[in-house]
């Protein structure tokens, strides 16, 4: 990468589109190198007390601008997958379950980035940095849902494969506020985790190490500007070619109801960091207009971690499965699969109305018939599950993930919307036999009953909170959208640093990996030349 030309004035050196794990890393590291940085975030600023007390407060939990809901969780439904993603200053860190595992070796030696570098070795120091910055720590307190998973591990002969989760949470004295414990006083005050289980509706106790408390906070201290509620709709090279002299970035309000004000700035470089749904959909549109040099592989190699989400509800009221952090433990069920119990805080039972008995079938009629049979054969059990007093208190959501690979393609339809299609391998499945088997065994341990999201039972559409790829690495534009240092093929001073850059299936929660790869990408950017 070349140093910027100094004979042209721009409003900023870098504009970063998105403030999630990749965007926040970029904001801090570019600011440290002397660049003038602007971060544009579609979502809102949220302080600890702005988060909803439960997910029944849909207006502050869900992102649905058409209904005037400006929360932190966005739900997007495609033909082949339902995607849960984060929105707000701090991106997915506001709503994710804090878990920061490192992938197994398979991840580093597969996919379109295979052979571009010795990834496992080269990324090692950047994983270390990411863990330090995100305050990764071993969960010190197992709740009933974790202890049930531990018992399942013992019963299946996998006791040595169970472990407390590595998470981005401050485990000081419960509820006690202390000066910055991470960055020699440069960070904000923090408070010890209360183990309330409310991580995924936004931490109201200042214990979750979300990005606004580390990378973004430190970047602001170095002069980075963060503008919330701004949605980018155009990035145009000033030279009409490869962006050698910079770009014009156009954006508008994402929350204004009528005629949102449009703005524009010029910048020498651009970092796309809006996550798969933000970056891929924007770049697909720009490839048709202002960025025609983008790779034809744009939108390919989208992965879902091959997940299954199964809620298990205790039906006799004997267990408090909400006690703990959002994900407190992990079980490596085999070389390719992992199981984690996920929880919400007491009172956060909105999901109950979107759950149905777990069934599978080749078509809608077959699935409806099997659903009806569940109600006919187990009416009392299903009534108890449906009308349990506090769904979140009584429910553990089992997250099953696999390394096994298949990919989707995202593309624009004739109306400008985004569609999904199967690109390689089998389509993601709403029914994974191994996951269902483990859920049944776990259900017996917690005296519960398994349910799934209604679109899985009715339409066979699986759900994921870990959508990845679409702007993957490749040795050239015929293989990938970006090179091994995250630079976009065909354009200068343009990078992608978010989940869309992930070029293989990690098989585990990807936040730490996105952070580490972004750290490496920023390490390749030279110091600003002020001469």
Active site residue 338: no
Domain assignment present for residue 219? The answer is no
Split at pLDDT 50, 70, 90, the class of 151 is: very high
pLDDT band at residue 414, thresholds of 50, 70 and 90? Answer: confident
Question: Residue 500 domain-assigned?
Answer: no
Residue 390, domain member (yes or no) = yes
Residue 119: phi and psi, rounded to 5, are: -60, -45
Averaged pLDDT, 258-266: 87
Residue 283 located in a structural domain: no
Q: Assess if residue 85 is contained within a domain.
A: no
Cα 193 to Cα 369: distance, rounded to the nearest angstrom: 45
| Cβ neighbours for 88, distance < 8 A, ≥ 6 positions apart | 19, 41, 43, 44, 45, 46, 72, 94, 95, 228
Q: Which two tokens stand for residue 386?
A: 């449906």
Q: Nearest-5° angle of CA 41, CA 44, CA 50?
A: 150
Q: Is residue 154 part of a domain?
A: yes
The pLDDT score that the predictor gives to residue 7 is 55
pLDDT digits (tens, 9 = 90+) for 420-445: 898 877 777 778 888 999 999 999 99
Contact 130, 160 (CB under 8 A): no
Question: Does 443 fall in a domain?
Answer: yes
Minimum mean pLDDT range among 122-131, 386-395, 417-426, 466-475: 417-426
In the prediction, which pLDDT does 186 show?
Answer: 96
pLDDT at 6: 47
For residue 50, is pLDDT > 90? yes
Distances (CA, A) of 170 to 102, 206, 296, 365: 19, 9, 43, 49
Q: Which listed residue (332, 466, 487, 489) is catalytic? A: 466
Q: What are the residues whose beta carbons fall under 8 Å from the beta carbon of 48, sequence distance 6 or more?
A: 202, 203, 204, 205, 206
Query: Out of 30-34, 77-81, 92-96, 189-193, which region has the weakest mean confidence (pLDDT)?
Result: 77-81
Each residue's pLDDT tens digit, 187-217 = 999 999 999 999 999 999 999 999 999 999 9
The number of domains in the chain is: 1
461 CB contacts (<8 Å, ≥6 apart)? 77, 78, 79, 80, 81, 82, 430, 455
Tokens coding 482: 């970006």
Residue 371: inside a domain:
yes
Phi, psi torsion values for 231, nearest 5 degrees: -115, 125
Q: Which domain holds residue 397?
A: 141-180+307-462
pLDDT given at position 52: 95
In this prediction, residue 286 carries a pLDDT of: 97
pLDDT confidence bin for 257, thresholds 50/70/90: confident
Is the pLDDT reported for residue 225 higher than 70?
Answer: yes
pLDDT band at 404; cut points 50, 70, 90: low
**What share of the chain in percent tops pLDDT 90?**
82
Burial of 290: CB neighbours in 10 Å, binned 0-12, 13-18, 19+: middle
Which of 234, 295, 304, 293 is closest to 472 using CA atoms?
295
List beta partners, residue 76: 83
């Amino acid at each position: 990468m070349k140093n910027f030309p100094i004979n042209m004035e721009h409003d900023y050196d870098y504009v970063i589109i998105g403030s999630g794990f990749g965007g926040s890393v970029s904001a801090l590291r570019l600011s440290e190198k002397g660049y003038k940085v602007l971060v544009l975030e579609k979502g809102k600023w949220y302080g600890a007390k702005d988060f909803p007390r439960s997910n029944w407060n849909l207006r502050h939990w869900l992102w649905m601008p058409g209904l005037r809901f400006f929360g932190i969780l966005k739900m997007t439904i495609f033909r082949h997958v339902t995607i849960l993603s984060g929105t707000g200053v701090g991106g997915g860190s506001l709503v994710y379950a804090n878990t920061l595992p490192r992938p197994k070796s398979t991840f580093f030696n597969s996919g379109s980035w295979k052979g571009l570098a010795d990834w496992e070795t080269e990324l090692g120091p950047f994983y270390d940095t990411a863990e330090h910055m995100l305050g990764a720590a071993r969960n010190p307190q197992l709740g009933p849902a974790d202890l049930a998973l531990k018992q399942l591990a013992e019963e299946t002969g996998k006791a040595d494969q169970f472990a407390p989760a590595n998470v981005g949470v401050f485990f000081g004295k419960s509820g006690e506020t202390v000066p910055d414990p991470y960055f020699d006083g440069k960070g904000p005050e923090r408070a010890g985790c209360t183990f309330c289980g409310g991580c995924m509706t936004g931490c109201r106790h200042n214990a979750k190490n979300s990005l606004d408390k580390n990378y973004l906070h430190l970047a602001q201290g170095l002069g980075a500007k963060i503008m919330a509620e701004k949605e980018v709709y155009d990035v145009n090279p000033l030279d009409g070619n490869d962006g050698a002299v910079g770009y014009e970035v156009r954006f508008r309000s994402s929350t204004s109801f009528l005629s949102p004000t449009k703005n524009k700035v010029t910048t020498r470089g651009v970092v796309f960091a809006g996550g798969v749904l933000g970056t891929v959909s924007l770049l697909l549109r720009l490839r048709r207009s202002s960025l025609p040099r983008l790779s034809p592989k744009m939108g390919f190699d989208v992965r879902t971690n091959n997940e299954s989400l199964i809620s298990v509800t205790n039906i006799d009221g004997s267990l408090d499965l909400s006690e703990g952090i959002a994900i407190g433990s992990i079980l490596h069920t085999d070389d390719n699969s992992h199981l984690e119990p996920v929880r919400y805080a007491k009172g956060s039972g909105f999901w109950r109305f979107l759950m149905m008995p777990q069934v599978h079938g080749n078509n809608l009629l077959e699935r409806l018939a099997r659903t009806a049979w569940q109600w006919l054969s187990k009416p009392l059990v299903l009534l108890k599950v449906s009308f349990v007093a506090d769904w979140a208190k009584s429910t553990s959501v089992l997250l099953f993930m696999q390394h096994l690979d298949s990919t989707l393609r995202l593309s624009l339809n004739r109306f400008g919307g985004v569609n999904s299609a199967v690109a390689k391998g089998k389509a993601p499945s709403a029914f994974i036999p191994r996951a269902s088997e483990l859920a049944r065994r776990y259900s017996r341990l917690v005296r519960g009953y398994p349910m799934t999201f209604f679109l899985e039972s009715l339409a066979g559409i699986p759900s994921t909170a870990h959508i990845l790829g679409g702007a993957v690495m490749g040795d050239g534009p015929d293989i990938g959208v970006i090179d091994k240092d995250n630079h976009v093929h065909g354009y200068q001073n343009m990078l992608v640093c978010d989940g869309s850059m992930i070029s293989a299936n990690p098989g585990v929660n990807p936040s730490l990996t996105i952070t580490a790869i972004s750290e490496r990408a920023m390490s390749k950017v030279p110091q600003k030349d002020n001469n």
